[in-house]
Amino acid sequence: MGTAEVQGAIWGARAEDFAEINEPAWRPVFDAALSRAGVGRGTRHLDIGCGAGGALVASRALGAAVAGLDASESLVALARRRLPAARIEIGEMEALPFAEETWDVATFINSLQFAGDPVRALAEARRVTRRGGTVLVVIWGRREDCAMLRVTLPAILALLPALAPGGAPPRVWAEPGVIEDAMREAGLQPAGAGEFDGALSFPDSETATRAVLSASARAIAYAGVEAVSAAVRGTLPAVANPDGSITWGNRFRWVKATRS
């Protein structure tokens, strides 16, 4: 059912760089997501696909009681180090190791699309969220609105073998109504949706390259780190600022549901 073993290897291969370089750049995205989910003092917040705990650190700063789940042992180890009082579990989104109606808010921040069965993952989020609580999904926006997807990701994907034809077409999560339909299939009632800007910024090309490499283990395993590094660096002039810093301007789509 799940994909934790595969996804854990992908996201945990360069865990230190992911935690120390990549995740901090996502702080504005985390803050925007938590605001839309209504996280504040006393909120019981579960982040599903929590990585090294970046969103949970932001949530705790708001006064929330936090917990998380991720597929990667190495990222979970870092999250536990950052949040020693929090329960951070390794496992599948489709089989959450938490009791029913435990959390006020459950979030998927750039994680739902990696579930083997996203509807089942949403149903599990519903199960562990209290009645009247919130399930929030944040996903990349349309490709044309996201410099990371439009400029840099294609150069990385070009290094990978083409996918075999056949099978059902994938869900286009950024399109309005797609997340909402999946929520309804999972027994959730959509209660709000929208978009927000979420630029990912780094001080220089070297740091930006390391950040992207920290989430590119599959391409590195197939093509080698030098090839992937070169592919990333080749796209950076398109997103470089006059001072040499790097900024990918992006938009993110969010949808929240109420647990009945």
* pLDDT value at 5 more than 80: no
Write the pLDDT tens digit of every residue in 31-65: 999 999 999 999 999 999 999 999 999 999 999 99
Mean residue pLDDT of the chain comes to: 94
What domains are there in the chain, each with its CATH number?
A: 4-163+170-258 (3.40.50.150)
What pLDDT, on the 0 to 100 scale, is given for residue 149? 97
Q: Kindly give, in sequence order, each residue whose CB lies less than 8 Å from that of residue 6, ignoring residues fewer than 6 positions away.
A: none
Give the pLDDT of residue 163: 63
Q: How confident is the model at residue 162 (pLDDT cuts 50, 70, 90)?
A: confident
pLDDT band at residue 13, thresholds of 50, 70 and 90?
confident
Q: Does the pLDDT value for residue 1 go beyond 60?
A: no
Residue 7, pLDDT score: 63
pLDDT digits (tens, 9 = 90+) for 86-129: 999 999 999 999 999 999 999 999 999 999 999 999 999 999 99
pLDDT given for residue 6 in this prediction: 60
Supply the pLDDT for residue 14.
Answer: 87
pLDDT at 248 over 60: yes
Res 249: pLDDT: 98
Distance between CA atoms of residues 133 and 126, nearest Å: 9
